[in-house]
Chains A and B, each alone.
Chain A
Amino acid sequence: MKALRNYLDKIKPDFEHGGKYEKLWSFFDGFETFLFVPNSTSGRKGVQIHDSVDSKRVMSIVVLALIPALLVGMYNVGYQHFLAIGESADFFSTFFYGFLAVLPKIIVSYAVGLGIEFAIAQVKHHEIQEGFLVSGMLIPMIVPVDTPLWMIAVATAFAVIFAKEIFGGTGMNIFNVALITRAFLFFAYPSKMSGDSVFIRTESMFGFGGGQPVEGFSGATPLSYAAAGKDLVGITGEPISWWDSFLGLIPGSIGETSTLAILIGALILLATGVASWRIMLSVFAGGAIMAQIVYMAGGSTLDMGYQITLGGFAFAAVFMATDPVTGCRTNIGKYIYGFLIGVIAIIIRVFNLGYPEGAMLAVLLMNIFAPLIDFYVVDANIKRRLKRANA
C-alpha cells in the first residue's frame, strides 16, 4: 500500500491546477479518495473529531443490500430463459446465462452515468459525488431483460443530466434518478418496457443459450394477467403460487421479482440504519391496507399477499421510497410519505388498466409531495412554538 501511496503522491502534482493532466483532476481525485480515506482534518474551530461514516460508506451499504436481489434476478433471467425454450439446465448454466444477460446493462448504466458525473465534476471542479453508485446499480435492476442497451444509455444520460445535475447534483435532486430513467424508458419506448415480449429473453447471450420458445409460451407478467382479470400463470401456462412470487421465479423486471432477496436487502439497510424503517414500514402498511380494501370490495382478484410480492412493489418500498434525498426529511412526514406511496401504488395498479404496475409512478408522484408534507410538519412545529410564546 505504501508503494501505491507514494506513487499517487508522485503523480498528484500533474493533476492539480497547472499540471499537465489538469483536465483529469476530478478523475484522479475520485480515484484517490476511492483508494485512500481522505486525510484532511477538521478545521481549527468547531468539531475536532468526526463519525467514521461518510457518503461513500452509506452508498456502498445500499449497493451491498442490492446484491441479493441482483443475484436472484440473474438466476431468474436464466431460469425463465431455459423454461421458455424448453431446455433443462443446471444451476450454474442457468445463473451464467442470466449473468451474461444482465452484466452489459450494469456496465452501460455505470459507464454512461459515471462518465457524465466525472465530466460535470471536472467542469464544476468539485469532488465526484457517489450518488450514482446506487442509481447505476438500480437502473439495470428495474428494466426488463430485453430492453436494448442503447435505450438504457439514452435514458440514463437523460436522467443524470435532467433529473440530477441541473438541480445541483447528489443531494439536490427532486426526483429519484433511477426512477426517472425508468419513467423515461416507459413513456418513450413503451413497447420495450412493458407487454408480453420483453420480460423473457430467448435469444443467446454471446453464443450461450438461445433457442425457439416452446409452444404455448407467453411472456406476460403476472400483473398483466391480473390487470386483465385472468388467473396468474407462468410463461408456459403453469399456475403461479404465492411462494413462486415470493421467491421470485416469475417473469418481471430483472431485480424486482424476488421478494425474499429484497427482504434480505431490507434487513441489511435496516440493521445498518442506512434506510428509514419508518418509510419502509409505512409503504408496506399502506400497500397492504389498500390492497386488502380493494380485494374485499371486489376491485381486484389479488389479495394483499400477492399485491406485495408481485411486480415492483417490494423493490420500490425497500430501495426507491427510502431514498433520503427525494423523500420526506421529517420523521412524521416519513410515515405519511411512505403510507401514501403504498396506497397510490395499489390504486394505479388496480384502477388504471393502462399501467399494470404503479409503484414507480407512486414514488415519483410522492417525490413531488415530499417537500409539501415536510412543510406542514414543520409548520405545525412553528405554530406550537408560537402558541408557547403567546401563552
Chain B
Amino acid sequence: MTNVVKLKKGLDINLKGKPQEKCLEPLQSDTYVMIPDNFHGVIPKVIVKAGDKVLAGTPLMFDKNHPEVKFVSPFSGEVVSVDRGERRKVLGIVIKKDVQNGCVDFGKKNVSSMSAEEVKALMLESGVWPFIKQRPYDVIADPAVAPRDIFVTGFDSAPLAPSIDYVAKGEEANIQTALDALCKLTQGKVYVGLRQDSSLKLKNVECVTIEGPHPAGNAGIQAHNIKPVNKGQTIWTLSIFDLIIIGRLFNNGSVDFSRIVAVTGSEIQTPCYVKAYPGAKLSDLIGSNIVKSDYKQRFISGNVLTGESVGNDGRINFYHNQITVIPDGSDEHEFVGWALPGLAKYSTTRTYLTWLFGGNKQYTIDARLRGGKRALIVSGQFEEVFPMDIYPEFLYKATLAFEIDKMENLGIYEVAPEDFALCEFVDVSKTELQKVMRQGLDALLKEMN
C-alpha cells in the first residue's frame, strides 16, 4: 500500500468564494506580459526587441547566472515593447497574441527512449525548466546540480485553491509523461503527495497520501515529512499543475502554456474556472463576473496567503493557477473593534466570540492588518500551523539577525517563504514573516555561492 503522512498542525481558512466546477471562456487580452519578477532570483537578459515576431516557444530572455535557463513566449505573436523601470530594470515584455497559433517544433518525443541529458536539454530549451524549483533557497533549480529526490505536490491546499481532479481532467497522459521525464533526472525517487480521494492513477513514482489541513499541499511540508532535506543536499520540487504543461511538450512536440485558472474569492459573483495564458490581464479573466461594489476591491494573483495584490489591470503570475478577489478594507473604519465581542470576526484564537457561533460558516475577510505591528509577544502560535520538526519562531529570529550557523541548525534549508504564510496570518504582532524569510534565503544564497 502507499505511504500515508498524517499532519495535525495547520489551518484551513474557510473563505467564501470556492470555485464551482465549470469552465468559462474568458475575454481575450489585447496583450500579455512576461514579468521577470515572477521568476524569483533571475537576472533577466532580454533577447527580443519591439517588433520581433515570436512563436510559442521562442526564447524571450534568459537568466544571466544560468544562460541555459530560457524563458519563452507562451504563444505566437509580436513583441510590442520591453518595459523598463529604474536603472533599466526589466518590468515586463509585452506581447500581442496573433491568431495563427504558430509554434516552435521541438519534435514529439518518446520519453522512455530519451537519456537524462536529452530530457534536461529539451526542458531548458523549451522554457518549461523554470517550473522546477529547488530546496534549499526556493529558487529555479540549478540544472548543474543533480537532485537527491524530486517532490511533486499533487494538490493545492491553500484557501480556495483549484481542485487538481477538475483541472487534470483529460490531462492524465500529460501528467504521466512529465513524471516519466522527471524520473530520468534523478538517481533518487520521484515522490508525489496526493490526497486520499485523488482520482489520479500514477505509475513509476512513489505516491504518498497526505492527510491534514493546509499547508499539507506545500512542497516543503511534504518533503519534510517524507524525506527531509539536510545540509548539502538538493531536492527539486514541482507542482502537479505544472506537470500538465511539461507533459504536453513531450507528447505534442510543442509548448502550450495555457492553464485552467480558478477565479475565486468573495467578490466574484460565480467563482469558477477559466482557461488562461500566463501574463493575462486579471480584469479579462474576471470579465463581468464580479460583485458590483462602492468599496475598494483587492485583486490578487494567486491565493490569499502567498499571492500578490496586482490590481484590476495587473497580470496573472507565470506560476499561478488561481486569482482571488476580496474586499480591500482600506475605506473601512471600525469603531473600537478591539473591544467589541466580535461575533462575526475570523480568528484562530478564541478572543472574539465567533468561535461560539461559527460552525461551518464561510468567511469574508478583507485585506486589513487589523492591528499594529509589534515585537513578537504571544508565543506558541506559529507552531500550531507549522507541521515540521522545526521551531519557526527561532528560525525566524535567526534569519532576521542573519546568523548563518543558527539558520542552518534550525532548518533554513528545508523551508520556503510560503511555509511561513499561515504563521504570518495568525500572528498577533502582524510581522511580515514571508518577506523576512525571502530576504534571508536570498542573502544566504549569495553568501554560499
Residues of chain B within 8 A of A45, CB atoms compared: 308-309, 434-435
Q: Once A and B bind, how many residue pairs between them come within 8 Å at the CB atom?
A: 208
- Taking CB atoms, residues of chain A closer than 8 Å to B326 are 48-49
Distance in angstroms between the alpha carbons of A4 and B334 in the assembled complex: 12
Residues of B within 8 A of A (CB): 13, 228, 230-231, 298, 300, 304-310, 324, 326, 328-339, 342, 345-352, 365-380, 383, 389-391, 393-394, 409-411, 421, 424-430, 432, 434-435
Contact A54 B430, CB 8 Å, known A38-B372, A45-B308 = yes
Complex Cα distance, B371 from A219, in Å, reads 46
> For residues 200 through 224 of chain A, which have their beta carbon under 8 Å from a beta carbon of chain B?
none
Q: Known interface pairs A36-B333, A381-B391. Does A46 touch B380 (Cβ–Cβ under 8 Å)?
A: no
Q: Give the docked Cα–Cα distance between A50 and B434 (Å).
A: 13
Interchain CB contact under 8 A, B410 and A331: no
Q: Assess the B333–A5 pair: CB atoms within 8 A.
A: yes
Q: Hey, which bits of chain A sit against chain B, CB under 8 A?
A: 1, 4-5, 33-58, 60-61, 127, 129, 131, 168-172, 271-274, 276, 324-325, 327-331, 334, 374, 378, 381-382, 384-386, 388-389
| B332–A48 CB distance below 8 A | no
Contacts known (A46-B432, A51-B348, A327-B379); A37 close to B337, Cβ less than 8 A: yes
Asked whether, in the complex, the Cβ of A55 is within 8 Å of the Cβ of B372, the reply is: yes
**Contact between A36 and B347 (Cβ–Cβ < 8 Å)?**
no
Complex partner residue of A47 from B335, B377, B379, B425, CB under 8 angstroms? B425
Question: Given the complex of chains A and B, what is the CA–CA distance between A45 and B320 in angstroms?
Answer: 14
Minimum distance in angstroms from B369 CB to a CB of chain A: 5
A41 and B380 contact, Cβ closer than 8 Å, known pairs A48-B305, A57-B351? no
Are B347 and A46 in contact (CB-based, < 8 A)? no
Per the bound structure, the CA–CA distance linking A257 and B386 in Å amounts to 40
With both chains docked as a complex, state the minimum distance between the C-beta of A320 and any C-beta of chain B, in angstroms.
Answer: 15
Q: 22 A-B residue contacts at CB 8 Å?
A: A33-B372, A39-B368, A40-B369, A42-B369, A45-B309, A47-B421, A48-B307, A48-B309, A49-B367, A50-B368, A50-B425, A51-B349, A55-B428, A56-B372, A60-B339, A168-B375, A170-B374, A170-B375, A172-B375, A272-B350, A274-B351, A274-B378
Contacts of B372 in A (CB 8 A): 33, 38, 54-56, 127
Alpha-carbon distance between A45 and B427 when the two chains are bound, in angstroms: 16
A1 touches B335 (CB 8 A): yes
Q: Is the CB of B410 within 8 A of A382?
A: yes
Known: A39-B332, A45-B435, A58-B378. A50 touches B228 (CB 8 A): no
Known pairs A55-B374, A272-B350; A47 contacts B429 (CB<8 A): no
* B369 x A41 contact (CB < 8 A): yes
Q: How distant is the Cα of A334 from the Cα of B410 in the complex, in angstroms?
A: 20
Q: Bound state CA distance, A23 and B326, in angstroms?
A: 38
A46 adjacent to B371 (CB under 8 Å): no
Do B230 and A58 touch across chains, with their CB atoms under 8 A apart? Answer: no
- Once the chains are docked, how many angstroms separate the CA of A289 from the CA of B324? 55
Give Cα A334–Cα B383 distance, bound, in whole angstroms: 14
Q: Compute how far the CA of A50 lies from the CA of B370 in the bound complex, rounded to whole angstroms.
A: 7
Query: Top 3 closest A-B pairs, CB basis?
Result: A54-B371, A171-B375, A389-B230
Q: Evaluate contact between A39 and B389: CB separation under 8 angstroms.
A: no
With a CB–CB cut-off of 8 A, which chain B residues contact A382?
A: 409-410
Q: List the A side residues contacting B338 at CB < 8 Å.
A: 37, 54, 56-57, 60
List the A side residues contacting B333 at CB < 8 Å.
1, 5, 36-37, 39
Chain B residues within an 8 Å CB radius of A271: 350
**A41 vs B298: C-alpha distance in the bound complex, in angstroms?**
10
Bound-state CA distance A381–B332 (Å) is: 44
Instruction: For residue B121, give the distance in angstroms from its CB to the closest CB of chain A.
Output: 33
A330 CA to B430 CA, complexed, in Å? 20
A41 touches B334 (CB 8 A): no
B378 CB → nearest A CB, Å: 5
Cβ–Cβ contact B339 & A39, under 8 A: no
Bound CA span A378–B410, Å:
8
**Which of chain B's residues have a CB closer than 8 A to the CB of A172?**
375
Q: Are A48's CB and B335's CB within 8 A?
A: no
- CB < 8 Å neighbour of B349 from A56, A274, A329: A274
